[in-house]
Amino acid sequence: MKQLTLNISESKYQAFLDFVRTLDYVEIAEVDKMALDELQNSFSEIRKMMDGELEKQTAEDFFNEL
């Protein structure tokens, strides 16, 4: 089996996914929604830190939280 990665615009994503699900020869792996949301939130926080909108945390503070 081959694997293909596609980038689909948000506005067309659901329509494309609905279409692909009608194809009997395509298998779609389900994603853990909670894990995906947490990952997207993490990337958003990183972007804010890079843009200076969110204060960066020191490594020492990070390890103290653990």
Res 10: pLDDT: 87
**Domain that includes residue 46, residue range:** 30-66
The residue ranges of the chain whose pLDDT is under 70 are none
How far apart are the C-alpha atoms of 29 and 4, rounded to whole Å? 12
56 within a domain of the structure (yes/no): yes
Specify the 3-state DSSP secondary structure of 45: helix
How far apart are the C-alpha atoms of 19 and 6, rounded to whole Å? 14
Total domains present in the chain: 1
Res 7: pLDDT: 92
41 within a domain of the structure (yes/no): yes
How far apart are the C-alpha atoms of 64 and 42, rounded to whole Å? 19
Structure tokens at 57: 């945390």
Specify the 3-state DSSP secondary structure of 57: coil
Res 64: pLDDT: 87
